[in-house]
Amino acid sequence: MATVSTLGCALLCALHRGSLTGYELVQRMRKPIGYYWTAQQSQIYPELARLSASGLIEHDAEAGPGPRQRKTHRLTDVGREALAAWLVEPPAPRALRDEAILKTYALAAADPDGMREFYLAEAEVYQRRLDDFRAQHADLLSRHADDPLHPQFGAFATLELALAGTLPRIQWCRWMADRMTELARLRREGRTWPPTPPGSLADLPS
């Protein structure tokens, strides 16, 4: 069997519950899969062609609204076997890239007022994401997807993790915004590090 890329496996994951058109796959890769694994639209269609050539997926074609055919993709038995085999493999080492944390590392070079706005904006982004997670979670819970037998239990489980991880990020961003307010005040007062010890010569009137 041909080696399947991680993107190919992600597409097999998206198709595991049923057939999807190329457009629907792109949307599924944006949400909800895009919350934890991202791909560009320009990468998806060539990868679908590779999966089809490898016999892992197949499609039906019909006339579309434009000049191109509308294809509906689905897993083959071979594709479902390949997905099942990949799911139990250990994941590849994670390459952690978090721009907000990188910027925090160099915080001493920043304007605290600007960074306060940065952290508040980050908190707002994650709050909107949390609201979306909660709505999806409630919908799945109403359909009893918390039952491991339910076909959408995997989606429910990813939301459990998302909810557990997103709220602390919001709290941290707001905490950092408060610290930036404090830092701006201390700098306006002329405070420096290390602090001047009480009773030092610097405290005496000039």
Of the pLDDT bands very low, low, confident and very high (cuts 50, 70, 90), residue 67 is: low
From residue 157, how far is each of 38, 137, 146, 152, 171 by CA, in Å?
Answer: 19, 9, 8, 9, 22
**Which one is predicted more confidently, 20 or 200?**
20
* Cβ atoms of residues 17 and 62 within 8 Å: no
* Topology adopted by domain 6-87: Arc Repressor Mutant, subunit A (1.10.10)
Of the pLDDT bands very low, low, confident and very high (cuts 50, 70, 90), residue 171 is: very high
From 1-15, 72-86, 144-158, the region with the lowest mean pLDDT: 1-15
Return the sign of the alpha-carbon dihedral for residues 26, 38, 143, 84.
Answer: positive
From 82-86, 113-117, 193-197, the region with the lowest mean pLDDT: 193-197
Query: Long-range contact list for 177-182, CB < 8 A, 24+ apart?
Result: 177/116, 177/119, 177/120, 177/123, 180/112, 180/113, 180/115, 180/116, 180/119, 181/112, 181/116
Q: What are phi and psi of 172, to 5 degrees?
A: -65, -45
Asked if the model's pLDDT at residue 2 lies above 80, the reply is no
What local confidence, expressed as pLDDT, does residue 204 receive?
47
Q: Which single residue is written with the structure tokens 């982004």?
A: 125
From 28-37, 137-146, 177-186, the region with the lowest mean pLDDT: 28-37
Segment 48-70 mean pLDDT: 84
Return the sign of the alpha-carbon dihedral for residues 93, 94, 97, 100.
Answer: negative
Q: Checking DSSP bridges between strand 57-63 and strand 20-21, what pairing results, if any? A: unpaired
What local confidence, expressed as pLDDT, does residue 200 receive?
56
Of the pLDDT bands very low, low, confident and very high (cuts 50, 70, 90), residue 186 is: very high
* Cβ atoms of residues 106 and 91 within 8 Å: no
pLDDT above 90 covers what percent of the chain?
70
pTM: 0.78
Q: What CA–CA distance (Å, rounded) separates 160 from 73?
A: 29
Calculate the average pLDDT of the chain: 89
